[in-house]
């Protein structure tokens, strides 16, 4: 309780407003669910807010945010694997526009077939343009493992999407 709650509040807001959309894109493709993605981003930003002064002093805000996001997502995956139960969907009024909606649905379905870590690697590498080393750092694994997960993930996506090529290039 010794931190000053006012520390860097505006800095936090500036950062969050600038990065939330990108964090959301990552979260949405990882989770495949609009509301879960919102929840992931909100949880990430909340943790970032609490730790802001310390994180900012270390100059690792972006890395911290991504790490929290990915770890929160992977933790939820682990929990869901043992206890997932259906939840009623009460609507997606804030869901994305119809543009590329078919592509997105097909891609989300394919991504859902990947193991969670592999999905995270593919998205961080190809949506967030993170380097192999950076992804390895985020996931707490080795660059070799990231390369392997990425290769396997892309290979699996290729299999799943192969038949639907016409959809993407129409």
For 105, counting Cβ atoms within 10 Å of its Cβ (0-12 exposed, 13-18 middle, 19+ buried), the class is exposed
For 4-152, strand residue ranges (E) read none
DSSP symbol at 1: -
> Which of positions 57-116 make contact with another protein (CB under 8 A)?
76, 79-80, 82-88, 90-91, 93-94, 96-97, 99-100, 103-104, 107-108
Q: Does 166 bind another protein (CB under 8 A)?
A: no
Separation of first and last alpha carbons in the chain: 57
Q: Does 170 bind another protein (CB under 8 A)?
A: no
* Token pair belonging to 130: 């993170």
- Rg of the chain over Cα atoms, rounded to whole angstroms, equals 17
The string of DSSP letters for 43-88 reads HHHHHHHHTHHHHHHHT-HHHHHHHHHHHHHHHHHHHHHHH-----
Rounded to the nearest angstrom, the gap between the alpha carbon of residue 128 and the centroid of all alpha carbons in its chain is 9
Nearer to another protein, 36 or 62 (CB): 36
Q: Does 20 bind another protein (CB under 8 A)?
A: yes
Of the candidates 69, 122, 136, 146, which one interacts with another protein according to CB under 8 A? 122
- Per-residue binder mask for another protein (CB under 8 A), 35-54, x = binder: xxxxx-xx-xxxxxxx-x--
Could you list the residues that contact another protein (CB under 8 A)?
Answer: 1-6, 9-10, 12-13, 16-17, 20-21, 24-25, 28-29, 31, 33, 35-39, 41-42, 44-50, 52, 76, 79-80, 82-88, 90-91, 93-94, 96-97, 99-100, 103-104, 107-108, 122-123, 126-127, 154, 157-158, 161-162, 165, 168
């Amino acid at each position: 309780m010794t931190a000053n709650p006012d520390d860097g509040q505006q800095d936090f807001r500036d950062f969050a407003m600038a990065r939330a959309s990108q964090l959301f894109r990552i979260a949405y493709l990882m989770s495949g669910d609009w509301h879960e993605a919102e929840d992931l981003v909100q949880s990430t930003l909340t943790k970032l807010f609490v730790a802001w002064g310390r994180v900012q002093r270390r100059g690792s805000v972006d890395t911290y945010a991504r790490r929290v996001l990915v770890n929160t997502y992977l933790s939820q995956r682990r929990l869901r694997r043992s206890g997932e139960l259906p939840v009623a969907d009460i609507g997606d009024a804030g869901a994305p526009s119809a543009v590329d909606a078919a592509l997105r649905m097909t891609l989300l379905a394919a991504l859902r077939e990947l193991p969670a870590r592999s999905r995270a690697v593919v998205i961080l590498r190809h949506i967030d343009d993170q380097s192999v080393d950076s992804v390895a750092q985020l996931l707490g694994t080795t660059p070799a493992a990231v390369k392997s997960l990425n290769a396997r993930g892309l290979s699996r996506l290729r299999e799943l999407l192969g038949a639907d090529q016409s959809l993407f290039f129409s």
